[in-house]
Structure 1
Amino acid sequence: MSHKIQVHKQSFSLDPTGAIFWEEKSCLLLSDVHLGKVSHFRKYGAAVPKHAIHKNYLLMDKLVETYQPFEICFLGDLFHSSLNREWVLFENWVARTPAKITLITGNHDIIGPEKFESLEIEQLEECVTEEFLLTHHPEEREGFFNLCGHIHPAVRLQGFGRQRLKLPCFFKTENQMILPAFGEFTGNHVLKPKELDEIFVIAEQQVIQI
């Protein structure tokens, strides 16, 4: 179940996959998908199940079917490293996806820009639209609300006794929203919220504000 919020009179649906749908722009935002990471690990002997390769594509297909976006914007780290055989799967996914695709370059996006150009994917360092700044690394810029990734945010919850739980989250401050990592096997980084921060955790296919 998604959770809806408003920022600067714009409506955003926070999806349990870690994606955000920007309703007024009909734009689906995803960050840190890290395609190719499973193949990269398997190449070097890591015991990662082969079927995990397809999970990101299935989730992205479901998002496209649910929200039918005009545009899909990846906020960096779309592909984990250099080319591997998963690039063919990505090409097939792009071919069957009707939305315009944009990539905000992240630190892991080292594949030559000509490969993305051949798929008609626009690649940018950042994107400014109205009062919003879309980047990979978190950035503070006066007059803008920053939508970004890179951190793979999570929070640690503590219950009665010694119960502890670490959950991925959308991490919102006054002028910024850090998206959770979309991809499988990406890990996360625990952040400590301040008093006015808003945290939306992902648990059991729900987005819950805590």
Structure 2
Amino acid sequence: MNLTIRNQKFQLHPLGGLFWVEKSLLLISDMHLGKVSHFRKFGAAVPRKVIHKNFLLLDQIVADFQPFQICFLGDLFHSSLNKEWELFENWVAKTPAEILLVAGNHDIIAPEKFEKVNVSIFPELVIDSFLLTHHPEEREHHFTFCGHIHPSIKLKGFGRERIKLPCFFKSNNQMILPAFGQFTGTHTLNPKKNDEVYAIVEDSIIKV
């Protein structure tokens, strides 16, 4: 799905990332790496293969766009350090793009750990008239890309059919990205008249 916002071109990917064409910048939000290991540590029956699935999907979207930069819009890691940090280190080492992190409320790992693997951390980023942040925020004269909400939309079919789909949720001056992680959950949003919703349906993006 291709969009033009403020004369800039963006591409929505069905894995949940957004690519800024002119800047060769890939935006990804709410990976929540380490969450699977965190829950397994306390006895939750979460399949270990979900851990590797996150990195396989990262490899896939990076291969599709081949960006110069990758910016994670917060909650890259779910909690404190665990074994998934080593997998992240290995992934960073083999990924040619420059990696940036806009810190979210879950990002409590010491900045020094990221700096050692050449990941730069920021409270927010402003590029031209675009604000990159974790929490939704509508700021005057800016268009915001953010995460945090894990947005989804509920659709009704004939009869009593119901389906909930992750989505990109766009208002006049803001777009909330879906959670990229495979073990994150979603929060249903109710669009207003001028909102635009781009639902992820298997391998496609559909405007609803």
Q: Which amino acid aligns with 1:96?
A: K
Q: In structure 2, what is the equivalent of residue 41 of structure 1?
A: 39
1:134 and 2:132 correspond: yes
Query: Any idea what the Cα deviations from partners look like across 1:80-105, whole Å, max 9, x if unmatched?
Result: 10000110000000000000000000
Q: In structure 1, what is the equivalent of residue 62 of structure 2?
A: 64
Shift in Å, 1:185? 1.3
Counting aligned pairs with the same residue, the percent is: 63
1:100 and 2:105 correspond: no
Q: Which amino acid aligns with 1:150?
A: H
TM-score (norm 2): 0.99
1:80 and 2:78 correspond: yes
Query: Any idea what the Cα deviations from partners look like across 1:6-46, whole Å, max 9, x if unmatched?
Result: 10011111000100011000000000000011111111111
Shift in Å, 1:190? 0.3
Q: In structure 1, what is the equivalent of residue 112 of structure 2?
A: 114
Distance 2:176 2:100 in 1: 18
The two structures, once aligned, show a CA RMSD in angstroms of 0.5
User: 2:104–2:135: 8 Å Cα contact kept in structure 1?
Assistant: yes
SS, match of residue 52 in structure 1: helix
Q: Which amino acid aligns with 2:71?
A: C
Query: Any idea what the Cα deviations from partners look like across 1:49-95, whole Å, max 9, x if unmatched?
Result: 11111011001111111111000000000001000011000000000
| Counterpart among 191, 196, 200 of residue 189 in structure 2 | 191
| Segments of 4+ moved more than 2 angstroms | none
Distance 1:138 1:204 in 2: 26
Q: In structure 2, what is the equivalent of residue 10 of structure 1?
A: 8
Q: Which amino acid aligns with 2:102?
A: I
Distance 2:106 2:147 in 1: 12
Distance 2:157 2:64 in 1: 34
Distance 1:150 1:118 in 2: 26
Q: In structure 2, what is the equivalent of residue 172 of structure 1?
A: 170
Q: In structure 2, what is the equivalent of residue 29 of structure 1?
A: 27
| Structure 2 unaligned residues grouped into runs of 5+ | none
Shift in Å, 1:159? 1.0
SS, match of residue 12 in structure 1: strand
